Structure 1
């Protein structure tokens, strides 16, 4: 019994090995096909003697290559051999390959150790029987000489059909890429087809008729005339191709016109933009301003950035509440890490917004909350509440005085129209190229000019249209001069600006501008402990911490972690020849 089990396991192992080894191996091999030079010599028995030399450029190592030659059921391959050549050497014949027949034809599988960044040429030699059919009036070859089953594109292809000598009355047609080239030379008995950058799923098909005496020994014979049927078939295919080309040309011209019209509309829209609103100067153009802005820190940040307030503005809001003694901020340590408790002294502030209610009632106990609890809280509600608070503040009546929505919308509309016209123009030009390559130079240079002019028009429009009112321009320049002063803390004496009480009013702005730690650090250098003790911030104790333990840094971090899951505000034809599907790859 034991021996029977061992035999059964061994048999199953052999069957599994045979099954796995018989499967098509598909590895992640990076390669290109540089050339496919194929020659088909016509024999008197109606067979073709094939020589197919394929040059690969490998960007990774591989174990070999394979080639599929699809055939009809009455055809077969014989006299097969394979030659391999590494680099530029002449190569040598190899027996290290498999040739197996399947339902569609044959598959060569050549085993060869291929190194990365190498060039490798493999040449297949074989004969295809019953390739040509003899009729009473003509002999016909209808053969997809370059198959359409390649795993990658082919950089260069040359396919030739060679007859034993001159062929009087030789006619040939080729089917494949429209930019391919066909040369028929009856005097030399040659048909040559070439193409560059041939898509792996396109292929090249040759259809030719010639006197049946060329293949006088052919046994594949049909007792009927066929010449007129072939000419009629190819005439129809030629007409269909011509109509298709004309259709593609018309489509391409229409798309070029659309690209031109859309581009010109965008360019005209940009350069004809009327001057509206005002634009405040940049900080580098302004002098220091030592006067506190006429607006609160949140609105100051909005005017400086022209965006909705962020978490630093909300932190500044809490700093203001602390200065107004409406909340109390106390620091405490847990496992050597500093956190803060925020307690509402004036409980009416809790009802000011949905965000405050969530912080005090849902995260806290109704009158206070800690940054530690805030950090642990995860849910979309807090993020949504913050978005609502930021949006509500951005839409406030006070902000409209300085930064009207009407001006913002008008400028955004101009920008959107110009960009939309650029996109339509570019998309139309790309589609025109895909329809026909006839006008490639006109499209490429024309679209490049349109895009350059559109970008210039866009820049002109942006500079021409302001989003600030006149009052907003004046106030924003004051804010930016004030922010510039805070950035240059340490280059002048803070006491020359004002006493500690004044700096207490300045601190929320420093928080909103992300400069709190810098200002606080310099305050502790230039003011004595006795002077700092007069500050409500130091009275509450939280201002004595700096760096990552400061209230602004800690609250920012905890609040940002909490809303990250719920808020987005912090994110800045064929004639029917055999051989179709032939192709190959690597493994």
Structure 2
């Protein structure tokens, strides 16, 4: 059930990625919910700019501002008016209200100081004049202007811009919009008006108007040598050609990336065939899960190494060996709690028949293998204790001893696993690259189109990732032809241990074996289930004494994290950003309303 829920979450996430479009958010302090800008061009080539901006605030602030660039020959003439909520503002002379111009790097920041409280809604207006906005040639006049500059700190919503020429009835009239935003300017030659509306414009996203019109419209502007119409048209054709090339390149990139789906699907198919062939070669026969007999007499740590190869968990092996020696009565755990502190003592009560790695664990815990040796479990948590120091000395030997014990019946096919996992994971990686890169391109550039066939490809690839991951987890490891049956038997045994809570433990033959089964449960990822079942089974048994601690209670002392806790190891893995890209075809206009915000 848990896997099904996980699968549903993954598929919803992948589908959301496929169809997701970027949304607009304010920065958490304020938002601009309406921006209206009226620009009146005058016969002398100057322009009067009038802003009406509605702010909504989440925090207390000191005022609002508009930044006006003055690059490429454009001069700031004067700031004629400012108002807040219809109330006209005077010059700033200190205090909390007034209008102030701050000069900064070819720009003027037009500040309106005004006390703002959280949850306020504020309507601010600016009116100012710019010189040298228009270039006049012998045949046409030109405006090349970023009406919205690239320094607005938050997204702009409900944008409405009007640019009006001194007169209408234009004979020579053309215009272009350059922006990553998809909205475009419209123009009316008869009225001599340009209009731009957009539901939203992302933060730091310029909107540029490039236009030519009759040169007689601005008779007071000195003429620039030569004709301008052909030059402007050629410039725009170059921009359009560059954008078209970029668009075509992205289409080919999209098509190329789609081929990754075929490569990925082929690699996954070949990996699955390889897995099926290895399994068939082993002649595997699936037996019932609820088989209460151990598949072999190998110790839990050896089984762990046989199933997982050289990369087995040393933590699990250490914990499982202690639990196994407790269950086989080599160790005894007693409660030594006194009036001041609760603690336990581990005693070595038998030493014959210990394997090499069991002797190593015994040396780590007790310092020797003599019967009667004792260790206080409180020392496991002291970094300067002898047991912790011995662990650092004998840790590598313990690992090597287990490997040597597992070698005669190594179950994993290491070379086969490398081939299988490399092919399968490369296939999944190809699908993930396909989906991720396509989404990055769609989100990062408005010049990448979303074709219906691409939506189908992304959906299929996303489903392929989901079911590929689930299928990979289900298949797991490739074992040798002779070892697969035993490996499967251990897997079935582990599944039985995990399902122990679903049947009556008292009906299981030879319940006394369950203390030892708990050690195997540690290496088969079922220890919590078995410990809980044993606790319920013994719930009514009142025969426990200080000299006998049940194995399931000992599990709390010798859990899988014991070795890491003792050595200060951290077995957690750190998680592992992709970026989109876009091309904006700007024609080099001066920075008009370059930015704005609040302070």
TM, length-normalised to structure 1: 0.73
Is structure 2 residue 72 aligned with structure 1 residue 69? no
Q: Distance in 1 between matches of 2:477 and 2:551?
A: 39
Q: What's the CA shift string for 1:21-58, capped at 9, x where partnerless?
A: xxxxxx97533434432221122333212122233454
CA contact (8 A) 1:329 1:343 kept: no
Matches within 5 A, 1:275-424: 275=276, 276-277=278-279, 286-287=289-290, 289=292, 294-299=297-302, 308-309=312-313, 311=315, 313-322=317-326, 327=331, 329-333=333-337, 335-343=340-348, 346=351, 352=357, 359-360=365-366, 369-377=375-383, 382=391, 389=398, 393=402, 397=406, 401-406=410-415, 408-424=417-433
Q: Distance in 1 between matches of 2:515 and 2:183?
A: 79
Is structure 2 residue 250 aligned with structure 1 residue 247? no
Q: Distance in 2 between matches of 1:193 and 1:524?
A: 77
Q: What's the CA shift string for 1:167-216, capped at 9, x where partnerless?
A: 33244444333734232322111123445643433312334444444334
Aligned-residue offset at 1:68? 1.0
Match of 1:8 in 2: none
Q: Distance in 2 between matches of 1:231 and 1:341?
A: 95
The counterpart of 1:427, out of the listed 425, 428, 436, is: 436
CA contact (8 A) 1:49 1:128 kept: yes
Q: Distance in 2 between matches of 1:421 and 1:566?
A: 34
Flag the 1:52–1:341 CA change in 2: closer, same or farther, 3 A: same
Q: What's the CA shift string for 1:113-172, capped at 9, x where partnerless?
A: 556566544332222234335556554433322221111233454432212331332444
Q: Distance in 2 between matches of 1:184 and 1:380?
A: 82
Q: Distance in 2 between matches of 1:208 and 1:571?
A: 54
Aligned-residue offset at 1:65? 2.0
The counterpart of 2:124, out of the listed 102, 118, 122, is: 122
Is structure 2 residue 453 aligned with structure 1 residue 452? no
Match of 1:188 in 2: 191
Match of 2:204 in 1: 201
Helix, strand or coil: the match of 1:419?
Answer: helix
Flag the 1:400–1:480 CA change in 2: closer, same or farther, 3 A: same
CA contact (8 A) 1:144 1:204 kept: yes
Aligned-residue offset at 1:281? 7.4
Match of 1:88 in 2: none
Aligned-residue offset at 1:271? 4.5
Deviates more, 1:309-318 or 1:36-45: 309-318
Match of 2:510 in 1: 497
CA contact (8 A) 1:162 1:189 kept: yes
CA contact (8 A) 2:82 2:99 kept: no
The counterpart of 1:443, out of the listed 450, 454, 457, is: 454
Q: Distance in 1 between matches of 2:286 and 2:399?
A: 25
Flag the 1:317–1:456 CA change in 2: closer, same or farther, 3 A: closer
Q: Distance in 1 between matches of 2:113 and 2:400?
A: 66
Matches within 5 A, 1:157-196: 157-166=159-168, 167-177=170-180, 179-195=182-198
The counterpart of 1:562, out of the listed 554, 562, 565, is: 565
Q: Distance in 1 between matches of 2:531 and 2:463?
A: 43
Q: Distance in 1 between matches of 2:507 and 2:140?
A: 104
CA contact (8 A) 1:151 1:200 kept: yes
The number of residues matched between the two structures is 532
Match of 1:81 in 2: 81
CA contact (8 A) 2:40 2:163 kept: yes
CA contact (8 A) 1:327 1:342 kept: yes
TM, length-normalised to structure 2: 0.72
Aligned-residue offset at 1:525? 4.0
CA contact (8 A) 1:264 1:450 kept: no
Flag the 1:322–1:161 CA change in 2: closer, same or farther, 3 A: closer
Is structure 2 residue 49 aligned with structure 1 residue 50? yes
Q: Distance in 2 between matches of 1:441 and 1:42?
A: 44
Flag the 1:390–1:447 CA change in 2: closer, same or farther, 3 A: farther
Larger Rg: 1
Match of 1:15 in 2: none
Match of 1:39 in 2: 38
Deviates more, 1:478-487 or 1:268-277: 478-487
Deviates more, 1:133-142 or 1:424-433: 133-142
Q: Distance in 2 between matches of 1:30 and 1:381?
A: 57
Is structure 2 residue 578 aligned with structure 1 residue 544? no
Flag the 1:127–1:69 CA change in 2: closer, same or farther, 3 A: same
Q: Distance in 1 between matches of 2:202 and 2:244?
A: 22
The counterpart of 1:260, out of the listed 258, 261, 274, is: 258
Helix, strand or coil: the match of 1:321?
Answer: helix
CA RMSD of aligned residues (A): 4.6
Flag the 1:159–1:506 CA change in 2: closer, same or farther, 3 A: closer
Matches within 5 A, 1:79-158: 80-85=80-85, 91-95=86-90, 96-103=97-104, 104-112=106-114, 120-134=122-136, 138-158=140-160
CA contact (8 A) 1:205 1:577 kept: yes
Q: Distance in 2 between matches of 1:321 and 1:231?
A: 93
Aligned-residue offset at 1:408? 4.0
CA contact (8 A) 2:380 2:566 kept: no
